Amino acid sequence: MPILVVGVNHKTAPLELRSRVAFADSEASKVLFAILALPSVEECVLLSTCNRTEVYVYASHDPSSDILRSLCSIKGLPVTTLSVACVSLQGASAVRHVFRVAAGLESMVVGEAQILGQVRSAYQTARELHTTGPVLNRAMQLAMGAGRRVRRETALGTRNVSAAHAALSACRQTLGSIDGRRVLIIGAGEMAALAMKVFAQAHARITAVANRDLNAAQVLAGRTHARATSLDGLPRVLAEVDAVVVAVGAGEPVLRRDHVESSGRMPALLILDLGMPPGVDADVGALPGVIVYDLDRLSEFLPPVPADAIAAAGLLIDEAADRFMRWYASRAAQPIVAGLRRRADEIAELAYERLQPRLQSLDARGQARVRGAMHTALRRLLHGPTVRLKEAATNRRVLELAKDLFDLNGEEERR
């Protein structure tokens, strides 16, 4: 059975297309159950972030086209829209991709810490919905372990990078010094809170926090003594700031052209859109003096990642992925190993039954010890061969020879 990755990411699809196929947390169950219902799919996990919407699958044969159709059907998209940007990986390539994603090596902001939590959340959702099994459970757990090692043991773990840091870098390069610059935060969730922290630490002045839920805006604004406002108050606040960080994942833009036009502002305005889907109307950037950077543009403002850090992380990823592939390959030997152990137990029981009349001088406890010793001896005898079998499980010829050698052909029929 193959392990597969099917979906789109920032390397294959622009932000506009990724936005159209992004799934909210509330949609995860619908997607997972639809994919699990496909004839060949045994297990599945859905990862949908700003950078990617990918499905990780364990299946009896390649269901890539069926998965693609399912994703498009749920989102109401023509299959051709997604197929031109779809990535489909199988086997070792798919496994390494999942591990690299968890470590942040496949992120637009390489080395970002947020992806590990997103992978953990996606896996937890799949487990709670019972769409995973032994194969993906093992793969996801090893991938997250590898991601933690990359954070802990390589220079990527010391890089304090995220989309919010990219926004700060863009602000510095566009406006010059960030010190004292007046910033409006739109949103009150996790990304908005991170953006506020990053900009405040750089000595920007957080002027206001705007959000649909005014109470949430007030809670976040209280951290820097900023003003809180509803989205209706945007025109008034926009007239007072140098930059706007939009950190919402709304279904429709929250910052519209009329908000900016009615603000009556004259100076230039920099808008940094961290939203997925975008939180800024497409035509806002056409206004005079207004600059809009979306997620794809913001990635250009980060410093390059040191090559040695990527190399060190890659070695850890390869080590973990190889470990998984060895475990996965060993599964092919499990029926033979189980057959050997059953045969050994049968032989031990038969030998014990023949010996039992000579054991009448022993009490029940003594007879049980003899019986156990016979089983243990045969299990120990088989330990070496079974270990070698698992190690050689990728060689189909070796497995067939083992069946012949131990007379295990037809074992399933005899059971």
- Residues 305 and 301: their CA atoms lie apart, in Å, by 12
Average pLDDT over residues 20-41: 94
Is pTM beyond 0.85? Reply is: no
CA distances from 98 to 107, 114, 192, 199, 219 (A): 12, 15, 27, 32, 36
Highest mean pLDDT among 154-163, 234-243, 381-390: 234-243
Helix H segments across 21-162?
Answer: 28-36, 64-75, 79-83, 91-103, 114-128, 134-153
Question: What is residue 396's predicted lDDT score, i.e. its pLDDT?
Answer: 67
pLDDT at 414: 46
- pLDDT of 314 > 80? The answer is yes
Fold annotation for 3-159: Beta Polymerase; domain 2 (3.30.460)
Average pLDDT over residues 109-115: 88
Q: For residue 391, is pLDDT > 70?
A: no
Structure tokens at 318: 């390869």
Which of 9, 81, 80 lies closest to 48 in space, CA to CA? 9
Q: What is the dihedral of CA 184, 186, 189, 191, to 10 degrees?
A: -70
Q: Residue 199: its pLDDT value, please?
A: 95
Please tell me the CATH code under which domain 163-301 is placed.
3.40.50.720
Q: Does 46 score more than 70 pLDDT?
A: yes
**278-288 pLDDT, tens per residue?**
899 989 988 98
For the beta carbon of residue 25, count every other beta carbon within 10 angstroms.
10
Residue 4, beta-bridge partner list? 57, 90
Higher pLDDT, 332 or 102: 102
Region 187-195: mean pLDDT is 93
Q: How confident is the model at residue 395 (pLDDT cuts 50, 70, 90)?
A: low
Q: What is the pLDDT of residue 176?
A: 87
- Between CA 410 and CA 415 the distance in angstroms is 9
Q: Which of 380, 399, 407 is nearest to 333 (CA)?
A: 399
Task: Identify whether 72 is a catalytic site residue.
Answer: no
Query: Mean pLDDT of all residues in the chain?
Result: 89
Question: How much of the chain exceeds pLDDT 90, in percent?
Answer: 60
What average pLDDT does range 366-378 have in this prediction? 84
Average of per-residue pLDDT across 170-195: 93
Give CA separation, 218 vs 127, 221, 272, in Å: 36, 5, 21
Q: Active site residue: 44, 50, 86, 171, which one?
A: 50
Residues 6 or more apart from 250 whose CB is under 8 A from it?
275, 277, 279
Give residue-wise pLDDT tens across range 221-269.
999 999 999 999 999 999 999 999 999 876 788 999 999 888 876 678 9
Highest mean pLDDT of the ranges 7-11, 107-111, 329-333, 397-401: 7-11
Domain spans in the chain, listed from the N-terminal domain onward: 3-159, 163-301, 332-414
